[in-house]
Structure 1
């Protein structure tokens, strides 16, 4: 977040630059993928009632991922490609270790549970996107790939952003949203077909952009658009049939859906606008901002408000540390500030990019950074109590209530 205001000016000029690539992977690997993997390590074994088959492998996976992602981002930033593809190879190995544990848990429920089916497919997309990223990095050194650099890059980006990240978010949403909302509606059967349609569309789009199949990207983009609109419809029906009021988790989810719809529109427009042109470059930049910061980041922040304090409580209980209530781990007063700053900043930055107003885009980036850094500080405080036995000052109140820790 701190780097965004310093890089957004480059994004107005051309998105395929070392600093843009490094920052994008800081978000996609360092923030988004790390958060999703952490949630899946907690949620999937509980959801499937199958503990991790190889817990030691999970430790290796964590450190390999951190080393690989840090190395890739650093060497991508300075434009040195041999260490970049070596780091990418480490990430592929880490993704394979992650897949071994996740598929052991969710594989037996393939085509039986909606969320389990979606996560099975998303883990395979993670492996595919990571492997293609390695191939693209190798190509920078050895130049063996045919086709356009931009279309090859677009294939990798969509396999990662739609196949891995968005498919996982849809799958987790189908498990979490009914519980968060206490919805009276049973998850409709269309949900599982929405996941299949998204997977088919992303596969087709990825292969089409690589030039491996014919038919054009427009058909596959249309399938993806319909699949994501179906997701919005399912989520809307759950919200409409809720039994509790909308909280900040669902506000972030709804704001994310708005950004998703806007990014779908911009992504579809790139079928007719050359991404290498001046206007195409600006649209592609806004598409990325709305997708990564508006859609995905909103969803992760919203879910983190519900999930992360509970994770910390569970860790403290297993270690025998003093119990804490969920409310004692959360600074609720900061949530509206984060929501307003993040979403106002995303819309302002995206608008500035499309209009080629650097000052407006930088203002939006500053607002995003402020909201993001406030969130980071607040959530770092919450997560820190999983690593120390001390308690927040509010926990010393003799009249405090521990019902949230049960």
Structure 2
């Protein structure tokens, strides 16, 4: 049984780094809201965006896959020595990217982008290879494989944009290149992976019956078709962008329909589970943000560029990246860490003493504060970016910082349970 146990140190390194990155992004935004509440294409805001997209979302996915692979995807993901090297490359590259963006030193930023790219590309190759042998629905496997392939394309495009800051070789309008890269990374990589993992993990979060059948393919095929078409059409500034935006939205709606189906087929909750499911509330909140982001995004594809549409684009980015993707990470983490902590603690007793239910490991008060922080932060940040209001941006950033700090504390308490449980077993054995 131990060979199937999720790795411990490496996923915690990734998840811990992710929390630090998001907290730093919130702190920088809270301290300098005037630098954020305005035109979004400048070095400081790009640094903060990468703390969210690379630091929080991508690092959380890479850390979670070591846990969710064995527990939910029937996928072997042991931590190997090259995986730690890849983590080091990713962390060093992230620090370098953010730091060089902050001081506007673009040659160093390009080298840092290459460093982080090597780390995350290696890890996604590992994930794609492991998914091939996983005993899961082929539709789920397709989501995971496509997400990894999209990451390779998005990382290549991002690296090209970074080098272009120094060498100036890319054709086309710079914002078109940036928008294309951002959508390929956010939709093609992060959203596709969240959907694929969500088909297995969300039923454990609610709880509900697992979806099955060929309909799972639909969200992957529609989203992939839409994302690739949107990527090319944004690069070329083509009128086809709206059509591919509709197709992408169709893929998201197909996934949303499956989530609604899960909620309509609830499974019996364990006795220790609270009636107030915080993971479910984060999921619903993320779904609302996604719905509004889809409406704004499709509108932006058909209206001419103006000062108001640029403000709307900033709000769209907040809803998509923070309101949806970043919050979906919180929703899944709420269930994932107690599950793996239970597994580690049980293994620590040589499978002799079953630990208490993972549903009883989290502090309900702390979870409530986290939910309140996110509930205040997302609307405040969205409105602040649209209205160019530094006060609203600051309110949202401080609220989110509180939510992140409390969530980190709660997670530390959950993981510490394993150490306490293993310590008790060692004392009893002595």
* TM norm structure 1: 0.87
Q: CA deviation at 1:182?
A: 4.0
Asked if 1:233 is matched to 2:257, the reply is yes
Counterparts in 2 of 1:47 and 1:378: CA distance versus 1, 3 Å: closer
**Is contact 2:40-2:314 (8 Å) kept?**
yes
Question: Which residue of 2 is the match for residue 371 of structure 1?
Answer: 403
Post-superposition shift, 1:217? 1.0
SS at match of 1:208: helix
Once the two structures are TM-superposed, the CA of residue 136 in structure 1 deviates from its matched residue by 0.3
- Report matched runs for 1:107-118 at 5 Å: 107-108=132-133, 112-118=137-143
Residue 28, structure 1, aligned to residue 53, structure 2:
yes
Structure 1 residues 214 and 367: CA distance shift in structure 2, 3 A: closer
CA RMSD of aligned residues (A): 2.8
1:206 to 225, 228, 231: 231
Aligned to 1:140: 165
Structure 1 residue corresponding to 2:319, chosen from 279, 286, 290: 290
Q: Mean alpha-carbon deviation: is it higher for 118-127 or for 172-181?
A: 172-181
Q: Please state how far the C-alpha of 1:283 moved relative to its aligned partner.
A: 1.1
Once the two structures are TM-superposed, the CA of residue 175 in structure 1 deviates from its matched residue by 0.8
Structure-2 separation of matches of 1:278 and 1:238? 41
Q: Does 1:80 align with 2:110?
A: no
Q: Which residue matches 2:84?
A: 59
Provide the residue aligned with 1:248 in structure 2: 278
Unaligned runs of 5+ in 2: 1-25, 270-274, 426-430
**Helix, strand or coil: the match of 2:232?**
helix
Q: What secondary structure does 1:253 align onto?
A: helix
Matched residue SS, 1:66 = helix
Please name the residue that 1:272 is paired with: 302
Q: How far apart in 1 are the matches of 2:93 and 2:232?
A: 26
- The offset of 1:190, in angstroms, is 2.2
Q: How many Å apart are 1:292 and its aligned residue? A: 1.6
Instruction: Note if contact 1:11-1:282 (Cα within 8 Å) is conserved in structure 2.
Output: no
State the SS of the aligned residue for 1:3.
Answer: helix
Closer, same or farther: CA 83–233 of 1 in aligned 2, 3 Å: same
Q: SS of 2:27's equivalent?
A: coil
Q: Which residue of 2 aligns with 1:257?
A: 287
Once the two structures are TM-superposed, the CA of residue 318 in structure 1 deviates from its matched residue by 4.9
Could you tell me which residue of structure 2 aligns to residue 219 of structure 1?
243
Question: Does the Cα contact within 8 Å between 1:342 and 1:368 map onto a contact in 2?
Answer: yes
Judged with a 3 Å threshold, the aligned counterparts in structure 2 of structure 1 residues 278 and 12 are, in CA distance, closer, same or farther, namely farther
Instruction: Give the deviation of 1:295 after TM superposition.
Output: 0.6
- Kindly tell me: are residues 392 and 357 of structure 1, through their superposed partners in 2, closer, same or farther at Cα, counting changes over 3 Å? farther
Residue 300 (str. 1) matches residue 332 (str. 2): no
Give the secondary structure class of the aligned counterpart of 1:330: coil
1:61/1:97 contact within 8 Å kept: yes
- Tell me how far apart the structure 2 counterparts of residues 2 and 216 of structure 1 sit (CA, whole Å): 39
Does the C-alpha gap of structure 1 residues 248 and 49 become closer, same or farther in structure 2, counting only changes over 3 Å?
A: closer
2:338 matched residue in structure 1: 309
Query: Once structures 1 and 2 are overlaid, which stretch shifts more, 320-329 or 159-168?
Result: 320-329
8 A contact 2:33–2:391 mirrored in 1: no
Alpha-carbon deviation of 1:255? Answer: 0.7
Distance 1:9 1:43, change over 3 A: same
How far does residue 282 in structure 1 lie from its aligned partner after superposition? 1.5
Please say if 1:128 is aligned against 2:157.
Answer: no
Residues 347/53 of structure 1: CA separation in 2 closer, same or farther (3 Å cut): closer
Aligned residues: 391
**Partner Cα distance (1:232, 1:48) in 2:** 20
Over 3 Å counting, the alpha-carbon distance change for 1:7 and 1:148 in structure 2 is farther
Structure 1 distance, partners of 2:276, 2:215, is 24
1:18-63: per-residue Cα shift (whole Å, max 9, x none)?
1100000011111111111111122224555453488222222211
In the alignment, structure 1 residue 193 sits paired with structure 2 residue 218: yes
Per-residue Cα deviation, 1:119-149 (whole angstroms, up to 9, x for no partner)? 0100111111111111000000000001111
Task: Give yes or no for the alignment of 1:175 onto 2:207.
Answer: no
- CA offset at residue 247 of structure 1? 0.9
